[in-house]
Every structure is written in C-alpha cells, then in structure tokens.
C-alpha cells in the first residue's frame, strides 16, 4: 500500500538548514539589488537558482515540456521587466516567480487546451496495459506518483506541487495562489487523500 506522506521530501528543517536559508536570503537580496542596477550576471545567477523549480512546476501542471520551457522563459522575462513589483518583505523570490509562472501556466492551459488538460479519463487511458500486480521499484513509485498528481484537478495539483514538491510553507503557497491559508491546508489534505486512493487502486496491498 502506498504512503503518500513518506514519498515527499520531509518538511522539517534543522538548525543547519535554517542557517543556510538565512544565508540564501541574504544572497538573494544582493542579487535583486544587482539586478535592479542592471547587472546581467545577476539575472544569470537567479536563473540558475530558480529556473529548475519554475520549469518543474509548469511541466507538472501542463504535462508538456515545450510549453513548460516557454512559460519558464516568459516568467524570467517578467522578472527582467517588472522586478520592482517583487517585495522581499512578502516572501522569497522563488515564491514570486512561481506566482508569475502560475498565472502564465493557467493562461497557457486555457489557450492551448481550451480547458484544463489531463482529466481523469485521459489518465486512465494512459494507464491501460500497465501491470499493477508487479512490485514497484523506487523509480516506478515515483513515476506512479507523478502520473497520479497529473490526474488531480488543477486547484489541488498546484498545492501539492507548491507545498510538497517545492516545500513552500502554507502561507507562501497561499500568497501565490491568492487564497486563505486554511484553503491551502484543506486542498492539500484532499489532494493527499485522492493520491493515496489512486495509487492504492493501481497497486493494491
């Protein structure tokens, strides 16, 4: 039987991780100051630090690598042209970038798909023929989890990507999604319940 909570990275942080986070925050502030002063090296450094999470968020939301690449590119163009709208007092730069990526992702999904992609029936068609009785290896479990996440409704999928895969706090996710913290908590709880059901249905104990 699958245990979803054990599949995600742990959310707790020790003192060493907290120190590293604070050092990262100071470095981020320096990069933002240099970016606003016109430094090309600063945007390159920020891209190296943040493009991976932005791309993975867009990829998991859309299911299309080419679209995720476009969204990532547009997100960093937005940073170049509108970086003054980023307020360090309201959260980390990655959170701001993910918020931009979320808006561009939702708009792209409407334009490209006409509606939200990858609904439940489509996901079930993709799963036909898979041997659900075989014992999953670690990589197979990860692949199964990713496929299950792709079948979640977008409003649940995004909280899983933000809170679990990006390890953002509830308040950070709420700021990105523009909803109350309680809504993030309830959506995440429902998403995890749905993931457990989907995964256990594919690989019963």
Rounded to two decimals, the pTM is: 0.63
pLDDT at 13: 46
Q: What is the domain range of residue 14? A: 4-202
Tell me what the pLDDT averaged over the chain comes to: 77
Q: Higher confidence at residue 75 or residue 146?
A: 75
**Residue 186 pLDDT level (bands cut at 50, 70, 90):** very high
Lowest mean pLDDT among 9-18, 30-39, 127-136, 161-170: 127-136
Residue 158: phi and psi, rounded to 5, are -70, -35
Q: Higher confidence at residue 164 or residue 8?
A: 164
CA angle 44, 46, 51 (to 5 degrees): 95
Cα(24)–Cα(19) distance, rounded to whole angstroms? 9
Lowest mean pLDDT among 31-35, 85-89, 143-147, 193-197: 143-147
Q: Higher confidence at residue 150 or residue 185?
A: 185
Over 90: is that where the pLDDT of 28 sits? Answer: no
CA angle 32, 22, 95 (to 5 degrees): 55
What number is the average pLDDT over the span 109-121?
A: 61
- Of the candidates 117, 123, 91, the one whose C-alpha atom is nearest the C-alpha of residue 105 is 117
What number is the average pLDDT over the span 181-203?
A: 87
Cα(21)–Cα(29) distance, rounded to whole angstroms? 12
Contact by Cβ (8 Å): 155, 187: yes
Q: How many domains does the chain have?
A: 1
Cα(134)–Cα(120) distance, rounded to whole angstroms? 23
Q: Higher confidence at residue 131 or residue 54?
A: 54
The domain that holds 145 is classified in CATH as 1.10.1740.10
Question: What are the tens digits of pLDDT across the range 78-96?
Answer: 998 888 888 888 888 998 9
Percentage of the chain lying above the pLDDT 70 cut: 72
Using a 10 angstrom Cβ sphere, with 0-12 exposed, 13-18 middle and 19 or more buried, the burial of residue 169 is middle
């Amino acid at each position: 039987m699958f245990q979803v909570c054990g599949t995600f990275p742990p959310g707790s942080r020790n003192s060493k991780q907290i120190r590293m986070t604070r050092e990262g925050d100071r470095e981020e502030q320096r990069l933002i100051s240099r970016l606003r002063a016109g430094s090309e090296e600063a945007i390159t450094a920020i891209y190296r630090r943040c493009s991976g999470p932005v791309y993975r968020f867009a990829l998991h939301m859309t299911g299309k690598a080419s679209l995720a690449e476009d969204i990532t590119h547009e997100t960093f163009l937005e940073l170049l042209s509108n970086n003054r709208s980023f307020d360090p007092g309201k959260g980390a730069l990655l959170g701001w970038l993910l918020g931009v990526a979320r808006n561009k992702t939702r708009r792209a999904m409407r334009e490209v798909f006409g509606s939200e992609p990858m609904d439940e029936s489509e996901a079930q068609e993709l799963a036909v023929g898979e041997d659900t009785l075989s014992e999953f290896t670690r990589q197979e479990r990860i692949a199964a989890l990713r496929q299950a996440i792709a079948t979640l409704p977008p409003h649940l999928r995004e909280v899983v990507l933000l809170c679990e895969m990006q390890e953002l706090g509830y308040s950070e996710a709420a700021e990105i999604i523009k909803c109350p913290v309680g809504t993030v908590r309830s959506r995440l709880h429902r998403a995890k319940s749905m993931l457990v059901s989907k995964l256990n249905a594919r690989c019963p104990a």
